[in-house]
Amino acid sequence: MPKSDLDRQIHLNIEENVPLAPFTSFRVGGPARFLIGVRTLRELQEALRFAERMKLPFCILGGGSNLLVSDAGFPGVVIRLLMNRVTRSGGMVQVQAGFDLTALVHRTVGWGLSGLESLAGIPGTVGGAVRGNAGAYGGAMADVLATVSALDAGTLQPLTLRRDQCAFAYRDSRFKREPGLIVVGALLALTPGDRGEIGSKVAETLAKREAKQLSCDRSAGSFFMNPMVDDAVLIRRFEEDQGVRCRECRIPAGWLIDQAGLRSLKVGGAAVSHRHANYLVNTGAATAAEVVELARLVKKEVQVKLGVVLKEEVSPVGLVI
């Protein structure tokens, strides 16, 4: 732990009954009983002690770009990770969990370091991206991770995990399965390269996202994960329709939702985006209950019409989906 953290007297800024919707890209959901923004490991430990003393559950908030918060909110302590230091030594980049992922991509372009280009434009923090192994265009966060620094919420002990100890898989990790392990930082192993070339790749990624309108707001991005499909007829139909080979037998959930005829389906203020069928969007004043009902309908229809079971990528807070 840095000495400056030890020396500092811990004074938490604890806010009560704070609406969570503004902290999420969906702009949906009720209040947190308590909200605490933490800037150091010690503050995080103190926030966890506070939750323990109050006998309340806790939940970690990063950039809020993959969350669906219940209309009733969260009856516990929401801890917002704000630690955002980044340092570089050669190709190794040490970054804290609260650092914005896209800002990190741009920072590494400036340093002439390659490895994060395909992640440009993914909203949220480094911590959220590690936990969900965020990715796009064939790349994912885990590809560049050397180690992950975490805090065990049970013992309050920090630990460092090698990449092979983190059980990374498609949009999955040990941190997702063990919510008591909080990601506080990451050491990335990047490759020195030509700044201009790296910058061009980042620009290409951003242009591809822009063309697909992947930045539309009031959503949590892809609501469902791309499922593994073993139906050879469906795979062939997808490949012929899209003119691409199916990667690892995963078919984009958006294509399946589209094929099921659900583009623009609505429940109250929640709708399947007409631009990207795997984006469920809040058209204005959607409630979480409406989003959940829309997701349920989408899953049911895709299963009935195409025989595929969709699984949520989005993280629920204060509700079960």
Ligand X SMILES: Cc1cc2nc3c(=O)[nH]c(=O)nc-3n(C[C@H](O)[C@H](O)[C@H](O)COP(=O)(O)OP(=O)(O)OC[C@H]3O[C@@H](n4cnc5c(N)ncnc54)[C@H](O)[C@@H]3O)c2cc1C
Three-state SS at 169? strand
Site pattern 255..294 for ligand X (x: CB under 6 A): ----------------------------------------
128 part of the interface to ligand X, by CB under 6 A = yes
CA distance 205 to 76: 38
| Stretch touching ligand X by CB under 6 A, among 4-12, 38-46, 154-162, 214-222 | 214-222
What b-and-e string marks burial along 228-255, b requiring 16 or more CB atoms within 10 Å of the CB?
ebeeeebbeebeeeeeeebeeeebbbbb
CA distance 12 to 93: 29
273 is an active site residue: no
Three-state SS at 235? helix
Task: Select 208 or 266, whichever has its Cβ closest to ligand X.
Answer: 208
123 part of the interface to ligand X, by CB under 6 A = yes
114 part of the interface to ligand X, by CB under 6 A = no
Selecting among 27, 118, 313, 315, the annotated active-site residue is 313
222 is an active site residue: yes
151 part of the interface to ligand X, by CB under 6 A = no
What are phi and psi for residue 140, nearest 5 degrees?
-145, 160
Alpha helices in the chain (DSSP H): 3-7, 41-53, 101-110, 126-132, 174-177, 195-211, 232-242, 253-259, 288-306
18 part of the interface to ligand X, by CB under 6 A = no
Report which of 67, 130, 137 is spatially closest to residue 104, judged by C-alpha positions. 130
61 part of the interface to ligand X, by CB under 6 A = yes
Q: How far is the CB of 183 from ligand X (least distance, A)?
A: 4
Q: How far is the CB of 240 from ligand X (least distance, A)?
A: 25
CA distance 291 to 295: 6
Quick one: which of 70, 108, 114, 125 contacts ligand X (CB under 6 A)? 125
40 part of the interface to ligand X, by CB under 6 A = no
Selecting among 149, 171, 173, 273, the annotated active-site residue is 171
Q: How many CB atoms lie within 10 A of CB 274?
A: 11
What are the catalytic residues? Answer: 171, 222, 313
Q: Which residues bind ligand X (CB under 6 A)?
A: 25, 59-67, 81, 97, 122-125, 127-129, 131-132, 134-136, 175, 182-183, 214-215, 219-221, 315
